[in-house]
Amino acid sequence: MPEKTSAPGKIILLGEHAVVYGIPAVAVPLSTLRVTVSWQKLESGDFQIIARDLKNQDITLTPNLDNEQNPLTRIVSSVLAYYNQKLPSVRFEITSDLPIASGLGSGAAVSTALGRAVANSIGEDIPNAILNEMVYNVEKIHHGTPSGIDNTVIVYEQSIKYKKDEPIESLRVHTPFTVLVADTGVTALTHQAVGDVRKLYQANQQRIQSIFNEIDSIVVTAIDYIGRGQIKELGKLMYQNHKLLQKLTVSSPKLDHLVEVALSEGALGAKLSGGGRGGNMIALVEEDMIDTVGNALSSAGATRVFHTDIK
Ligand code: PMV
């Protein structure tokens, strides 16, 4: 029987991109969509990673783990170095419910689940704080200058207020609410969008900083509303956040279209989520509007729509 580990996906409710510059952001785990890693000891002496859901990657690693730029080998070598262990003879198989490059945290979830599996395969249970640091370093390969929000929400599997270099705060939710997640079907590289925002920032620091400051006050107010159960007001802030993300050039015509469709069909708020330019958008809906708004998003071209409850 293979042993198993897993990690959830995530969505960012508010504050993406600005979070890279020290503004707080809110993220929640998607516990129903997961990356799973099954592992099995081998007699052959080989070390194998089979990752067909991730662009058909079948990797048979050499024992020196010399490819530091491959996220899979990097997390394996980090865990083994931490425990001062050699490469075990194990076959790891990665399966994923998460589309890649879509803002749902696929990269961090793969690193988290694989890191746990490697530790388990050598008889260790890796502490979250250690794993979080390792996954953050792998995120740098994907993203260049990640804020650390993805690895944190995924490793701890907790709804959080995240602010760079500050202790993680759990998000206090007064009244559970529902968010629809709709995929544009367009993949987009986060590091590209993050890089473009950096160029904007360097070219016009004052203007971009004032957008970040507006996002800051939206996030702080939204956290207060979530804590008080003021969900309608939260919806308005999500849309305001989307408008500011447009100014940062990280939206796209399809994201904008899905956001407008969700609002015109009765969502309380909507915005892109994550790196943007493609990937997923989210819409805050009352329970009796889940089907109406969800169907409208599908008809408007979303390739996958599901809902998640935030408690
Ligand atoms: O991984 P994504 O696409 O959800 O984006 C992460 C959020 C950003 O704020 C855009 C980048 C970061 O490192 O925080």
Q: pLDDT for 77-113, tens place per residue?
A: 999 999 999 989 999 999 999 988 788 999 999 999 9
The response to whether residue 139 sits with its C-beta less than 6 Å from ligand 1 reads no
Q: State in Å: Cα 43 to ligand 1 middle.
A: 40
Structure-block tokens of residue 57: 């990657």
pLDDT in the model for residue 45: 83
pLDDT in tens, 196-254: 999 999 999 999 999 999 999 999 999 999 999 999 999 999 999 999 999 999 999 99
Which residues are part of the catalytic machinery?
150
pLDDT in the model for residue 102: 83
Q: State in Å: Cα 187 to ligand 1 middle.
A: 14
pLDDT score of 125 more than 80: yes
* Closest-CA residue to 27 (of 222, 208, 200): 222
CA atoms within 13 A on the CB side of 258: 35
The response to whether residue 274 sits with its C-beta less than 6 Å from ligand 1 reads yes
User: How many other CB atoms are there within 10 angstroms of residue 256's CB atom?
Assistant: 16
- Mean pLDDT across 51-74: 74
Instruction: Give, rounded to a whole angstrom, the gap between the first and last alpha carbons of the chain.
Output: 34
194 pLDDT band, cuts 50/70/90, is very high
61 pLDDT band, cuts 50/70/90, is low
The response to whether residue 14 sits with its C-beta less than 6 Å from ligand 1 reads no
Structure-block tokens of residue 44: 């052959």
pLDDT score of 62 more than 70: no
The percent of residues in the chain predicted with pLDDT above 90, rounded, is: 85
pLDDT score of 289 more than 70: yes
pLDDT in tens, 172-191: 999 999 999 999 999 999 99
How far apart, in whole angstroms, are the C-alpha atoms of residue 311 and residue 65? Answer: 41
Q: Which residue has the tokens 């929400």?
A: 153
Pocket test for ligand 1, best of 111, 190, 280 (most atoms within 8 A of CB): 190
Atom of ligand 1 nearest to the CA of 190: 3
Q: State in Å: Cα 149 to ligand 1 middle.
A: 7
Q: State in Å: Cα 275 to ligand 1 middle.
A: 5
Distances (CA, A) of 92 to 4, 123, 218: 9, 15, 43
Atom of ligand 1 nearest to the CA of 17: 9
Number of H helices, E strands in the chain: 9, 11
- Mean pLDDT across 135-154: 93
The response to whether residue 9 sits with its C-beta less than 6 Å from ligand 1 reads no
The response to whether residue 248 sits with its C-beta less than 6 Å from ligand 1 reads no
Q: State in Å: Cα 194 to ligand 1 middle.
A: 8
The response to whether residue 271 sits with its C-beta less than 6 Å from ligand 1 reads no
Residue 212 burial class via C-beta count within 10 angstroms: exposed 0-12, middle 13-18, buried 19 and up: buried
Atom of ligand 1 nearest to the CA of 276: 3
The response to whether residue 143 sits with its C-beta less than 6 Å from ligand 1 reads yes
Q: State in Å: Cα 150 to ligand 1 middle.
A: 7
The response to whether residue 30 sits with its C-beta less than 6 Å from ligand 1 reads no
* Closest-CA residue to 93 (of 114, 77, 109): 114
pLDDT in tens, 19-42: 999 999 999 999 999 999 999 999
How far apart, in whole angstroms, are the C-alpha atoms of residue 136 and residue 155? Answer: 10
pLDDT score of 63 more than 70: no
Ligand 1 atom 1: residue of nearest CA = 103
